[in-house]
């Protein structure tokens, strides 16, 4: 069993380095429990797993090319980037990528690390660490919306779960994250106060603690803590059971003052419901009455970070299929080292190659890494209809040209399968980064839907808080406990 565990950890480690945290946590737990023989067997299994990986990978040619491989130091340079709070950024990626050998990558990264540590100082480093912990552990969406944004079919569910009306699901996810983290802290406090030798959750606590330490020195992203969500969820039960014990306390006595805990719970429960109703009323006009400009998505292909195709003298065409009316298209451009103003043209064709829109633009109106939106009169497809976007330049050169962000596909996978990209008439396994949109003024949500959602929320709150509002004795198992645990005297 321990041999198998070591093999699994090794194979996982080759895929994602954070499995090393789990291995270290297991070894520490075994050391604390004086089970070092188990650790030795696991390490043997780990070595066997690495060997198995090499044997399997070699015939398929998937072994790492040392000169292409990014070293560990690369992710530490991300971690020390104050401008991005330790997250991925294109400049650091490009700097490492442009180094020809592994050794040059390491050397360049180390110089960057030294410079950033010197510039940050102790105070700046502590501030950056605090921001990184917030990025990695406080966000409840885990980069969910970014991953869900690209879909082939946009419908009503998309709007509420990933589109422009996703506010309620955002709140729901964040509330879930807050509850998980609070129960985690309660579970940790329970573990620290537990004096027994039965520490069956010890390895999980050490793993999570190791993850906190790891991401203090590593690149961070909201989705990275998702890997540890199952472990945090396991501790949720311990945290929530401890919290329920607190709620069951009828009263506590601090010095000479007796505090009625059930009365406090009743008032808090009523307060939460009243606050929900109050906030719903004052925000009714903002979300259900007032009209604002929204870019409702019709077609989405927003993947393409890090790589851009220079326009220069090339003619770039991207096709897409739309079945809803639209009046704007946004394209993400890259602008670097453009010495002089260069002119470009955006053209939209229907499936019969009829020109529908022609817009001129220049490099001065482009912001690096941002979308440039082209607006025009409404186009209404009759069912599903194919359209073509063409981008070309009038005077750009290879040394003086903006680029379009693209996503590289493969023989077996395309990010946007309903369209294709061509360069000078030759099809490539890529798609440009673009959004086809319906630019219009509307309310955030309809009045009926707003009222329905609020009613559901209030009903759930009433159901959850009912025992404390009624203050029924059957819900109170522990009665009259003082803060030190002594029972209340008659």
Give the mean pLDDT of the chain. Answer: 87
HSE on the CB side for 220, CA within 13 Å? 28
Give the model's confidence band at 464: pLDDT under 50 very low, under 70 low, under 90 confident, else very high: confident
Express each pLDDT in 315-338 by its tens digit.
999 999 999 999 999 999 988 767
User: Is 81 in contact with 117 (CB distance < 8 Å)?
Assistant: no
- E strands, 266-418, where? 292-301, 308-310, 316-322, 326-334, 343-349, 355-362, 371-379, 385-393, 403-408
Least confident of 89-103, 183-197, 284-298: 183-197
Q: Report the distance separating Cα 112 and Cα 119, nearest Å.
A: 11
The residue to which tokens 């360049």 are assigned: 108
Helix (H) / strand (E) element for 441: namely strand 434-442
45 within 8 A of 11, measured Cβ to Cβ: no
Mean pLDDT in residue range 147-175: 87
pLDDT digits (tens, 9 = 90+) for 191-227: 888 777 667 888 999 999 999 999 999 999 888 888 8
**Average pLDDT score over residue span 233-240:** 88
Distance CA 265, CA 73 (A): 51
63 band by pLDDT with thresholds 50, 70 and 90:
low
Which of the two residues, 150 and 359, has the higher pLDDT score? 359
Task: Point out which residues pair with 345 in neighbouring strands.
Answer: 360, 392
Q: Of all helices (H) and strands (E), which one includes residue 19?
A: helix 19-32
- Give the integer Cα–Cα distance in Å for 174 and 134: 13
The CATH T-level fold of domain 295-442 is: Jelly Rolls (2.60.120)
Structure tokens at 208: 């999570």
CATH 2.60.120 residue ranges of the chain are 295-442
- What are the phi and psi torsion angles at 398 (to 5°)? -60, -30
Q: pLDDT tens across 379-420, in order?
A: 999 999 999 999 999 888 888 899 999 987 666 677 888 999
Spatial distance between the Cα atoms of 67 and 72, rounded to a whole number of angstroms: 13
pLDDT for 87: 92
pLDDT at residue 246, as a whole number: 74
Locate 83 and state its tokens. 């401008």
Q: Which two tokens stand for residue 303?
A: 């993947």
């Amino acid at each position: 069993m321990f041999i198998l565990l070591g093999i699994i950890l090794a194979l996982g480690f080759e895929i994602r380095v954070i499995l090393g945290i789990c291995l270290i946590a297991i070894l520490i737990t075994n050391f604390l429990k004086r089970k070092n023989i188990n650790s030795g067997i696991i390490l043997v299994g780990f070595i066997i797993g690495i060997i198995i990986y090499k044997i399997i990978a070699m015939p398929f040619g998937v072994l790492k090319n040392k000169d292409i491989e990014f070293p560990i130091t690369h992710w530490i340079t991300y971690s020390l980037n104050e401008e991005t709070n330790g997250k991925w950024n294109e400049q650091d990626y490009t700097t490492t990528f442009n180094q020809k050998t592994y050794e040059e990558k390491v050397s360049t990264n180390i110089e960057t690390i030294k410079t950033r540590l010197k510039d940050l100082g102790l105070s700046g480093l502590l501030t950056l660490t605090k921001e990184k912990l917030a990025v990695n552990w406080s966000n409840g969406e885990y980069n969910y919306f970014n991953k869900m944004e690209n879909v082939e079919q946009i419908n009503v569910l998309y709007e509420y779960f990933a589109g422009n009306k996703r506010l309620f699901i955002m709140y729901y996810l964040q509330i879930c994250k807050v509850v998980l983290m609070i129960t985690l802290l309660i579970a940790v406090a329970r573990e620290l106060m537990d004096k027994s030798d039965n520490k069956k959750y010890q390895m999980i606590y050490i793993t999570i603690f190791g993850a906190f330490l790891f991401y203090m020195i590593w690149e961070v992203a909201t989705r990275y803590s998702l890997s540890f969500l199952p472990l945090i969820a396991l501790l949720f039960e311990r945290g929530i059971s401890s919290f329920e014990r607190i709620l069951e306390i009828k009263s506590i006595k601090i010095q000479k003052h007796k505090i009625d805990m059930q009365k406090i719970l009743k008032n808090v429960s009523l307060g939460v419901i009243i606050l929900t109703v109050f906030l719903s009323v004052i925000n009714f006009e903002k979300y259900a009455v007032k009209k604002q400009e929204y870019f409702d998505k019709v077609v989405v292909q927003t993947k393409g970070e890090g790589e851009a195709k220079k326009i220069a003298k090339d003619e770039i065409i991207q096709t897409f299929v739309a079945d809803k009316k639209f009046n704007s298209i946004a394209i993400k451009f890259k602008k670097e080292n453009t010495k002089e103003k260069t002119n470009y043209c955006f053209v939209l064709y229907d499936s019969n190659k009829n020109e529908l829109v022609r817009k001129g633009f220049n490099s001065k109106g482009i912001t690096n890494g941002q979308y440039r939106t082209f607006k025009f009169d409404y186009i209404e497809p009759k069912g599903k209809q194919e359209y073509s976007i063409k981008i070309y330049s009038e005077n750009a050169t290879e040394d003086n040209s903006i680029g379009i962000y693209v996503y590289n596909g493969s023989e077996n996978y395309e990010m946007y399968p309903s369209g294709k990209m061509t360069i000078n008439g030759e099809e490539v396994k890529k798609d440009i980064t673009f959004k086809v949109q319906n630019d219009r003024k509307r309310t955030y949500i309809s009045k009926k839907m707003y009222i329905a959602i609020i009613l559901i929320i209030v009903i759930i709150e009433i159901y959850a808080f009912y025992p404390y509002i009624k203050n029924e004795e059957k819900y109170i198992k522990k009665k009259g406990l003082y803060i030190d645990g002594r029972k209340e005297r008659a």
